[in-house]
Structure 1
Amino acid sequence: MRMYRKCLVVSFLGLLALATACSKHEMAPADAEVAMESAPAMAEAANAAAAAPPEKNLEPPPLQTPGVDASQLASDVLVQVDPQRRFIRTAAAEFQVKDVYRTALAIEDEVAKQGGFTVDNDIQAQVQRVQSRPIGDGKRLELSEYRLQGELTVRVPSERTQVFLRAIASQMEFLERRNFSARDAQFELLRQQLARQRAQDQQQELGDAVQAGGKLGDKADAIEARGEARGQRDEAVIAQKEFEDRVAFSTITLSLRQDVQVRKAERVDVDAVFRDNGPGFFSQLGDALRVGWRAGQQVVVALAALWPVWLVVLAAVIGWRRWRRKPSAA
């Protein structure tokens, strides 16, 4: 009987183990299919997470000053090209900005970026009016109304003039005036070249004259003339280089200003300080009496110094009174 029960228990356990194995075998393919189907989605999610910017970069960028439309600083004058002509380009602009100092630095950075350089940078504060009032404790509150103005002169490559002006348009709040010029300088260039050639020819002729011989005085004059010719040649070379520089680099004058500002400052109230630290009433009264006494003494002294006048006046009065008492003739 015991053997029979053992056989039943063993058989039951064997059937249970077989059923468990079969269930695992049937569910494994399903799990594999689910994993294969979810793998692309998981990979895509991972790529998206890697491509996403860091948390700190999700903050909105700071607001930038919109500036004026770049088309307001564009013109065919700045870009026209003619192989037969040489243009000397100049430009000028007057505009308002939010901050003169920051804008001037930004313009200088842009000039360097375009391969140019800054010639002048002049910024000054023009005080328009000043008001002050006492605030006690020997102080005065001073209010100054002023406006910052700047003048910049820059040189940029001629072909980059319009690019530069478009780039600084974002620094402007309001464009008041702009002026563009492209002067044809081909004849000036020809004039410089001819002057240089004449100086070279003159120097060569004078050199030949010196070598040819002659009187000592003539040689001295020829040498002096040759030195003058060399000076003229050098001046012609410099003038041509200056001309080529004006052609290669445009000259741009920028006038910028910002809105009126008010400066508040505390100043020493000098009148109040002297008034508060001055002498008291009785001290002033004593000083006044002393001054009056001295003045009276000075008056007496001055009158005493006029004693001859008083004698003349006294004699005149006595004579007049005697004349009045004299009886008239019958």
Structure 2
Amino acid sequence: MKKRTKLGLTLLLFGFAFACKQAEATDNTAEVSADTTAVEKTISSDAAVEKKESNRKFVRTADLKFKVKNVAKSTYAIENIVAKNGGFVTFTDLKSNINEKSETKISQDSTLETTRFTVDNTITLRVPNTQLDTVLKSMVKEVAFLDSRLIKADDVALQLLSNKMAQKRLASHQKRLEKGIDTKGKKLNDINNAEDKVLGRATENDETVLQNLSLEDQVNYSTVTLYLYQRESVLQEIVANEKSINAYRPHIGLQIWDSLKTGWFMFEAIIAFIVQLWAFILLIVFGIVAYRKFVKK
């Protein structure tokens, strides 16, 4: 009876411990999910999302600065996200900034080179206006720490309407000027002045059209500017030392042998030079003999 009681208590304790572990695992999963959801809410934005029946036109821009584990890998991941959502990258500036560099001699022929550097990247990308929030949410897994986030939405519906109305007025005025030139223009000066006015109105009309096209492009494609950085990295590399010129000097025996050969070559050169002066030496000898034989007598 006692054995059965002990066995029952053991099973009861084991079941209680297992239930506690399951509850703890569930809580941890819930915390991770809550953290991810919080980051997604922080980095993304549903503000100024256009409704289908709305006449508003928003130019949406986003500026984000955040820390990542690896700038290069995060850059490639973000570029893939943008491409999958129909966007494109217009600017990227990935670089390593050297903060400190030192050299430590560890042996006669080796040096340890230590480089401390940080990697960052500035990215400008364009994504469809309807996919902006999706792109921002997809980048959440790359964010280790969010420094700042700025999202703007400017309503340009009235500006687009104003440009279209101005375009119609300019086109109408241009037609009236052209008609006046064709029907009433007689003098050359009057025609030239009228043609200049027509050209001016056509130029204004073209500028208005281009402004509208630019605004529509900004409405259709949002501009996102990202600044990515990572913690300081350290690169250590062992490099070979450059040998001193003294390491290539020959030993003393070879130096003495080279000196003897050099001296002998100099001696040979002196003898050869003296032999080249044989005629001058012969004249001196004849002069001495003649002096002793004739002058002294």
- TM-score bucket of the superposed structures, by smaller chain: 0.5 to 0.7
The alpha-carbon deviation at position 178 of structure 1 amounts to 1.0
CA 1:279 to 1:89, structure 2 compared with 1: closer, same or farther past 3 Å?
farther
1:191-230 equivalences in 2 (<5 Å): 191-212=162-183, 213-230=185-202
Asked whether 1:76 is paired with 2:37, we answer no
Aligned to 2:80: 109
Structure 1 residue 277: Cα displacement = 6.1
Over alpha carbons, which structure has the higher Rg?
A: 1
Is the 2:93–2:121 Cα contact (8 Å) retained in structure 1? yes
Q: Report the secondary structure of 1:115's partner residue.
A: coil
For 1:99-178, list aligned pairs within 5 A. Answer: 99-178=70-149
TM norm structure 2:
0.65
Shift of 1:78: 4.8
Q: 2:240 & 2:174 partners in 1: Cα distance? A: 73
Does the 8 Å contact 2:48/2:58 carry over to 1? no
**2:81 aligned counterpart, secondary structure:** helix
The alignment of Structure 1 onto Structure 2 pairs a total of residues equal to 215
Structure 1: stretches of 5+ with no match in the other structure? 1-65, 281-330
Distance in 2 between residues matched to 1:74 and 1:154, nearest whole Å: 16
| 1:249 aligned to which of 221, 225, 241 | 221
2:57 maps to 86
2:231 is paired with a residue whose SS is coil
Cα distance, 1:277–1:84 mapped onto 2, change above 3 Å: same
Secondary structure in structure 2 of the residue aligned to 1:120: strand
Gaps of 5+ in 2: 1-34, 252-297
1:144/1:201 Cα in 2 relative to 1: closer, same or farther (>3 Å)? same
Structure 2 vs 1, CA of residues 277 and 201 (structure 1 numbering), >3 Å: closer, same or farther? farther
CA distance in 2, matches of 1:91, 1:279: 70
How has the CA–CA distance of structure 1 residues 145 and 217 changed in structure 2, closer, same or farther, with 3 Å as cutoff? same
TM-score (norm 1): 0.59
Q: Which residue of 2 aligns with 1:311?
A: none
Q: Which amino acid aligns with 1:235?
A: E
Q: Report the Cα offset of residue 202 of structure 1.
A: 2.9
Contact 2:46 2:133 in 1 (8 A): no
- The CA distance in 1 between the partners of 2:197 and 2:73, in whole Å, is 56
Q: What residue identity is the alignment partner of 2:119?
A: L
One-letter amino acid of the counterpart of residue 64, structure 2: A
Q: Verify the 8 A CA contact 1:78 1:162 in the aligned structure 2.
A: no
Q: What is the RMSD of the two structures over their aligned residues, measured on CA atoms?
A: 2.6
Change (3 A) 1:227 1:138: farther
